[in-house]
Amino acid sequence: MAHLIQPLDTEDPLGPLPQEFAAIMRPELPSLIKEIGVEVTRAYPEYARLLDGPNGQAIRVGVEQSLASFVDLVAEPSSPTTLRDDMCRRFGRFEAYEGRSMDTLQGAYRLGARVALRRAKKVGQSYHLSPTLMLSFADALFAYVDELESLSREGFQEVQSQSGEHNEALRRRLLHLILAGRPAPGSAIADLCEQVGWTLPEEVTLIAVRAPAELDRLSADRDLLVDLSAPQPHLLIPGALDDARRSMLAQALPAGRAAIGLTVPTALACESIRWARRVLELVDSGVIDDAPLIRCEDHLTTLWLLSDPALLDQLARRELAAVAGISPTRRDRLVETLRIWLDTRGTAAQMGALLDVHPQTVRYRMRSLETIFGDQLVDPESRFATEAVLRALRLRSRATGTSP
């Protein structure tokens, strides 16, 4: 591996690393990311809570982006770092919003670097890399971490410099604790409620908002808890969403699309926001029609039927096994006829009108279905499972534009 050794260049921290080194590093990334996650959450339990909370996925993406960017820069020093830079600044802003100093984030960065260096030493031994190259790697890695810290500090200072931001940071912190997804210390929530002058309600309604989101503070009620700077913007309304609250939302979120979660006990706030975000996903995929304010309450059956796509595939394979061996064209016709019958329990004439076929064709298909499915259409439990599968497949077909 002597050809990999290049002279140390103190001007550019990535200069000493040959581009071929990226090919050695890249396969290590998936398992390295997991290892860093374990070490960091063990050393900093507050990050374990955040990873389980509403911003957990965005945080994981940020960590992956930072590590992948390092490898990309080794492979091609001119690789753009715009996404990485923005993510690091977001991390810094998030620390400020959470009311912490930069010490915890800096410690997490440096711990991650030590884990990566430990892995690099093992890989270096297996590839018989020279000590000089490994020293260059260490220099480049810690210089890179310094750069990440600097970017995060920019975001942190940006938040701190904004007037009146301290109270907003405390309110966001309170919102995050309520949405933690598992019981948070009651004393911590009570202390924050006292600091910001907010009364903890028995019930809450969560709203998922499309990014980027803006809120007209003059139109918004003052008792809202809001985080529109998060990757998945959201806000909390104390109590139920009555007509007055709905009108307020329409004015306060004039440019955004939002999904209104169910009103739930405050301890279940994380479920309300989860359902609301799922509704936005189904809007994006074309299953649910878009609108400025979409109520989860209007789409509960859809949420239930499409809550587990993999399980739906397994259930469909079981319930429709009887027609699996039939030609696709005939199978589609029979399944659609079966769906119409389960939906309407109509006469041949009524079903024929819906299917745009002659009633006699409907009768022929129904006799075929009775022969193929047998007792499956007689037993109430089996019939219900079949009907649920067909409804779910039809909903999903709206997203793919294919037949159910």
35, containing H or E segment: helix 29-43
What is the reported pLDDT for 385? 79
Q: Is 287 part of a structural domain of the chain?
A: yes
If one counts every other C-beta atom within 10 angstroms of the C-beta of residue 366, the result is: 17
In this structure, the answer to whether residues 55 and 99 fall within a common structural domain is yes
State percent of the chain over pLDDT 70.
Answer: 91
What is the reported pLDDT for 3? 34
Band of residue 334 on the pLDDT scale cut at 50, 70, 90: confident
In this structure, the answer to whether residues 327 and 299 fall within a common structural domain is no
d(CA 257, CA 269): 20
Q: Find out whether 224 and 216 touch, Cβ atoms under 8 Å.
A: no
In this structure, the answer to whether residues 266 and 149 fall within a common structural domain is no
* 326/275: higher pLDDT: 275
Chain centroid to CA 168: 24
In this structure, the answer to whether residues 273 and 386 fall within a common structural domain is no
Number of domains in the chain: 3
What is the reported pLDDT for 152? 94
This prediction's pTM: 0.52
Whether the pLDDT of residue 171 is over 50: the answer is: yes
What is the reported pLDDT for 403? 56
Q: Is 297 part of a structural domain of the chain?
A: yes
Secondary structure class of 118 (helix, strand, coil): helix
Tell me the mean pLDDT in the region 168-173: 87
What is the reported pLDDT for 401? 56
In this structure, the answer to whether residues 235 and 327 fall within a common structural domain is no
Band of residue 185 on the pLDDT scale cut at 50, 70, 90: low
Tell me the mean pLDDT in the region 324-351: 83
CATH code, 151: 1.10.490
Whether the pLDDT of residue 151 is over 70: the answer is: yes
In this structure, the answer to whether residues 294 and 346 fall within a common structural domain is no
Query: Which of 304, 321, 337 is the endpoint of a domain?
Result: 304
In this structure, the answer to whether residues 44 and 119 fall within a common structural domain is yes
295, containing H or E segment: strand 293-295
d(CA 313, CA 341): 22
| Residue-by-residue DSSP string for 328-390 | HHHHHHHHHHHHHHHHH---HHHHHHHHTS-HHHHHHHHHHHHHHHGGGGTSHHHHHHHHHHH
What is the reported pLDDT for 399? 63
State percent of the chain over pLDDT 90.
Answer: 21
168, 144, 201, 159: which is closest to 25 by C-alpha? 144
Whether the pLDDT of residue 126 is over 90: the answer is: no
Q: Is 5 part of a structural domain of the chain?
A: no
Among 60-69, 188-197, 262-271, which is the least confidently predicted range?
188-197
Q: Report the chain's mean pLDDT, rounded to a whole number.
A: 83
Whether the pLDDT of residue 148 is over 70: the answer is: yes
Q: Is 328 part of a structural domain of the chain?
A: yes
Largest CA distance in the chain: 85
Query: Which of 248, 273, 304 is the endpoint of a domain?
Result: 304
Q: Is 378 part of a structural domain of the chain?
A: yes
* 284/206: higher pLDDT: 206
Q: Is 171 part of a structural domain of the chain?
A: no
Whether the pLDDT of residue 212 is over 70: the answer is: yes
Band of residue 7 on the pLDDT scale cut at 50, 70, 90: very low
In this structure, the answer to whether residues 321 and 293 fall within a common structural domain is no
d(CA 12, CA 3): 20
In this structure, the answer to whether residues 34 and 149 fall within a common structural domain is yes
In this structure, the answer to whether residues 292 and 326 fall within a common structural domain is no
ω into residue 7 within 30 of 0, thus cis? no
Query: Which of 160, 192, 213 is the endpoint of a domain?
Result: 160
Question: Which regions of 156-271 does DSSP assign to beta strands (E)?
Answer: 203-209, 225-227, 234-238, 258-265
Tell me the mean pLDDT in the region 289-309: 86
Q: Is 166 part of a structural domain of the chain?
A: no
Tell me the mean pLDDT in the region 361-387: 82
Band of residue 14 on the pLDDT scale cut at 50, 70, 90: very low
In this structure, the answer to whether residues 271 and 321 fall within a common structural domain is no
Q: Is 168 part of a structural domain of the chain?
A: no
Whether the pLDDT of residue 330 is over 80: the answer is: yes
If one counts every other C-beta atom within 10 angstroms of the C-beta of residue 2, the result is: 8
In this structure, the answer to whether residues 37 and 122 fall within a common structural domain is yes
Residue-number span of the structural domain to which 239 is assigned: 200-304
Whether the pLDDT of residue 358 is over 70: the answer is: yes
What is the reported pLDDT for 162? 62
| Residue the block writes with tokens 């923005």 | 86
Whether the pLDDT of residue 8 is over 50: the answer is: no
What is the reported pLDDT for 201? 92
Chain centroid to CA 165: 27
